[in-house]
Structure 1
């Protein structure tokens, strides 16, 4: 008989993950569930939520919520009850956008989910976080080392880093941290044609110190660390395969 006891700090904790029907969010939900957490995943598409739930324990719950709508976020947190950790990884598909081709209305909308959605989640979610709990947000290395075409990507990453520090001060003693990722293989890059996408991955892999583009599971471990550690806040943890050093 297996009498092993799960002594994880996440055992029995309730984790809310917004933007978690696929990619990094879902990988984090799986990792948290493996540590004994009770996970709740949120995304905008019910079909993807249903598919994601088949890969999680039976105790997991899922909700289809439009995270670009403040009222939807407010209503969700009003009814979800108390929880321990909030993870926000929501975002639309990524693509390179050049200044000369920039459409201002579309540029404004780029911030709706990634930035304003995160702020709404903080505003309405923080009051329901239990003592000792945390918030973990998502950023990226484009803030520190943008390439051509990364105008909006670099801007949003810089905004998220600043938001992390400001909220760590304002929401204390709730811990607020951010995972800053390099290019990671997820479906957020699916707007780029497959041949071009694979070429991008290969080119980046050749240049990186670790000689591979990251996987969602690599980043998930950083989110698990932020939930389990108890004395770090306002921090940006970089998971980039050495992007900032080459």
Structure 2
């Protein structure tokens, strides 16, 4: 990138306030970090105060952070009532997904996964869209399980499909606010920390070898898609896939 291109990129984020729900780790944090480097004012949100504090310590001075249970409607409503206006809303929040078969997973556990990943996104759009300034956007997150499900992915695939349909419906209902979704393949983030280290590393290596890209994704790879959808002004109701080519093989 030339110096003039770097300057133009920086101006993109001047005076912009970006709210990242799930912005304290993984893809959300990488997006917050990149936007901050470009001069944006960043607000990160997590369900746990310790995660908020840790993220704030690694981001530029002046970054805001809040602990909010994004599956709790009253907390979400109250948060957006006090946070004020902003330019872009990014939703990357989500706990580790369960890849149990439909016969193995408890219905209560399946509903709990929907509470954050789908209904959390829904509530963020419902209560946050009125705070978005002219020219702003909402970017949600889904995964390739919704495009190419595998055995044991009934719940993850259902959530991903629901979020993508929600994206298109919101793009129509909330226009002219732009609403898009980033569909992720396997990304090396804390979501996989529930696996033993040896098994986790084997997963990354074996999966990466099967991909056309030759490796699994890093949070910074995914962040570029979120930054693009905030930066450009003409896409809405669209899905960007960041998966190293997993849906092709």
| 2:126 equivalent in structure 1 | 123
| 1:38 equivalent in structure 2 | 41
Please state how far the C-alpha of 1:5 moved relative to its aligned partner: 5.3
Q: Aligned pair in 2 of structure 1 residues 5, 207: CA closer, same or farther (>3 Å)?
A: closer
C-alpha offsets along residues 93-143 of structure 1, whole Å, 9 cap, x if unaligned? 123211221211111111011000111100100001000000000011111
| 2:213 equivalent in structure 1 | 210
| 1:109 equivalent in structure 2 | 112
The residue correspondences of 1:152-167 to structure 2 (distance < 5 A) are: 152-167=155-170
The residue correspondences of 1:124-203 to structure 2 (distance < 5 A) are: 124-203=127-206
Would you identify which runs of 4 or more consecutive aligned residues in structure 1 move more than 4 Å? Answer: 4-7
Aligned length: 244
Q: Aligned pair in 2 of structure 1 residues 5, 214: CA closer, same or farther (>3 Å)?
A: closer
Alpha-carbon contact 1:185-1:215 (below 8 Å) kept: yes
Can you give the 5+ residue segments of structure 1 that lack an aligned partner in the other structure? Answer: none
SS at match of 1:15: strand
| 2:70 equivalent in structure 1 | 67
Distance 1:99 1:117 in 2: 23
| 2:87 equivalent in structure 1 | 84
Please state how far the C-alpha of 1:91 moved relative to its aligned partner: 0.4
Q: TM-score, length-normalised on structure 1?
A: 0.96
Q: TM-score, length-normalised on structure 2?
A: 0.95
1:58 aligned to 2:61?
yes
Distance 2:190 2:89 in 1: 22
SS at match of 1:214: coil
Of residues 17, 28, 31 in structure 2, which corresponds to 1:28? 31
**C-alpha RMSD of the superposition:** 1.4
SS at match of 1:25: helix
C-alpha offsets along residues 13-56 of structure 1, whole Å, 9 cap, x if unaligned? 00000011110110000011111110000001111111111111
